[in-house]
């Protein structure tokens, strides 16, 4: 009687252990410790075109946060993102607006829809920005497209 119980218990325990290990490996693979082929997590050089033309360096973090610094008056902004279907990523971010003298004049909200390439080395998308004064009054809006190239520790200087 005892032997039959062990014969059923041990395979069940081994199966449970194997499934636990498989789930753990799968979860770790999606965490972004090393960027997977089609994830946006990482460091990027972004080129914007449209109503405004500028470049930025953008960091996308696996926890859904994003940080960007542009060559347009030193603007920096931060945001939140989520994955959508087929390698598409939705972003919302905000930043402060300054005039040519460095005085705060307002803020902007921007949305993006980006699609990461299958090899994970580029992405492209659209952007839509709305600008507001310091009191929250709408000032203007801009739209355009963007392309980005992944930067890594192996990117040539």
pLDDT tens figures, 37-60 = 569 999 999 999 988 899 999 999
For residue 54, with 0-12 CB atoms within 10 Å meaning exposed, 13-18 middle and 19 or more buried, which class applies?
A: middle
Position 19 pLDDT exceeds 80: no
More confident site: 19 or 2: 2
The confidence score (pLDDT) of residue 8 equals: 56
Alpha-carbon distance 141 to 131, whole Å?
A: 6
What the block records as the tokens of 97 is: 């607006």
Percent of the chain past pLDDT 70, that is, above it, reads 76
Q: What is the 3-state secondary structure (H, E, C) of 59-120?
A: EECCCCEEEEEECCCCCEEEEEEEECHHHEEEEEEEEEEECCCCCEEEEEEEEEEEEECCCC
**What average pLDDT does the segment 22-27 reach?**
36
Of the candidate ranges 16-30, 62-76, 131-145, the one whose mean pLDDT is the lowest = 16-30
The confidence score (pLDDT) of residue 25 equals: 34
The confidence score (pLDDT) of residue 15 equals: 44
In DSSP terms, which residues pair with 127 in a beta bridge? Answer: 112, 144
Cβ neighbours of residue 106 closer than 8 Å, sequence gap 6 or more:
96, 97, 131, 132, 133, 134, 139
Helical ranges in the chain per DSSP H: 2-29
Position 31 pLDDT exceeds 60: no
Tell me the whole-structure pTM to 2 decimals: 0.74
The confidence score (pLDDT) of residue 87 equals: 82
Q: Residue 27: left if φ>0, alpha if ψ -120 to 50, beta else—which one?
A: alpha
Of the candidate ranges 24-38, 47-61, 75-89, the one whose mean pLDDT is the lowest = 24-38
Report the mean per-residue pLDDT for the chain: 82
């Amino acid at each position: 009687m005892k032997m039959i119980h062990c014969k059923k218990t041990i395979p069940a325990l081994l199966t449970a252990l194997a499934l636990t290990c498989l789930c753990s490996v799968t979860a770790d693979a999606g965490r972004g410790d090393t960027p997977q082929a089609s994830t946006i997590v990482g460091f990027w050089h972004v080129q914007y075109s449209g109503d405004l033309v500028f470049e930025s360096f953008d960091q996308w973090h696996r926890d859904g946060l994003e940080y960007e610094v542009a060559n347009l008056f030193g603007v920096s902004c931060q945001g939140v993102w989520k994955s959508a279907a087929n390698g598409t990523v939705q972003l919302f971010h905000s930043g402060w607006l300054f005039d040519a003298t460095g005085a705060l004049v307002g803020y902007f909200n921007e949305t993006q829809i980006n699609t990461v390439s299958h090899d994970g080395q580029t992405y492209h998308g659209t952007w839509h920005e709305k600008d507001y004064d310091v009191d929250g009054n709408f000032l203007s809006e801009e739209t355009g497209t963007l392309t980005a190239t992944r930067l890594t520790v192996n990117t040539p200087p």
